[in-house]
Amino acid sequence: KIKSIDDDFLIYLSGGDARIMLTILEAAAIQEIDKDEFDLTKEIFENIVQRKNILYDKGGEEHYNVISAFIKSIRGSDPDGGLYWLARMLEGGEDQLFIARRLIILASEDIGNASPNALVLAEAAFSAIHKIGMPEARIILAQCVTYLASSPKSNASYLGIESALSEVRKNPLNGVPNHLRNAPTKLMKEIGYGKDYKYAHDFENHFVEENYLPDDLKNKQFYFPSENGQEKRLKDWLKFLWKTKKNYK
């Protein structure tokens, strides 16, 4: 028989989530069931939560809080934070493939061309985890997490596609310039399709300064590479090539 319940602490511990509250209450009652009478105290509730990791509810708010902390730790170049939140998810029974999918997204969104191998490793980790499963998957996830957290960061690709999408949504019907159009027939060539197209491989460095955008977007830039990691080499190369039409500061 339950004599008393520390209601205030139970509500605090569950964050007001009724499902978590009932889960903690049930687990605590089962733990004390051999006693004729018992109090469900703060100490008992704390013991239950620590032992069973009840607060990690895969369908509740804490699930999203923990995955948010996980992603932000890796984005913030903290491998220790990444490992801690990874461990929290694994102990809470999180699907390891869900974690691996989030790492693939992060590899492109937050690392990108600063360390292109990040995406390769994240994809390889997903494949390996799919084949192997737990408990060994924890090691693969740990390797991926520490590599991504320790890699130079860039969100230039993410910002670039968002900028390009915004431009397309403002004017989705911008015409393709004639020199870039496909000209498989004689008629198309006669009306100017493909006219004056410059084949890049015919020029020094396999490059020629040309306009590859709709006419009213000439010289518009969406991609601004960062100074981090391998992306700096890409930036320097683009700066060397595009001397007049683009500005890579």
Least confident of 3-7, 124-128, 242-246: 3-7
Q: Give the tens place of pLDDT for each residue, 162-202.
A: 999 999 999 988 999 999 898 888 878 878 888 989 999 99
Distance CA 155, CA 131 (A): 31
Reply yes or no on whether the pLDDT at 106 is more than 80: yes
The region, left, alpha or beta by phi > 0 then psi within -120 to 50, assigned to residue 119 is alpha
Listed in sequence order, the residues at least 6 apart from 221 whose beta carbon sits closer than 8 Å to its beta carbon are 246, 247
Q: Is pLDDT above 90 for 74?
A: yes
Length of the chain equals 249
- The CA angle 78-100-105, to the nearest 5 degrees, is 75
Q: Are 140 and 132 in contact (CB under 8 A)?
A: yes
**pTM for the whole structure:** 0.76
How many C-beta neighbours within 10 Å does residue 174 have?
14
Q: Could you give the maximum distance between any two Cα atoms of the chain, in Å?
A: 97
- The residue with greater pLDDT, 42 or 156, is 156
Q: Name residue, tokens 């390996």.
A: 128
Which pLDDT does position 144 carry in this prediction?
98
Mean pLDDT within 143-152? 98
Compute the mean pLDDT over every residue in the chain, rounded to the nearest whole number.
89
**CB contact at 8 A, 71 and 101:** no
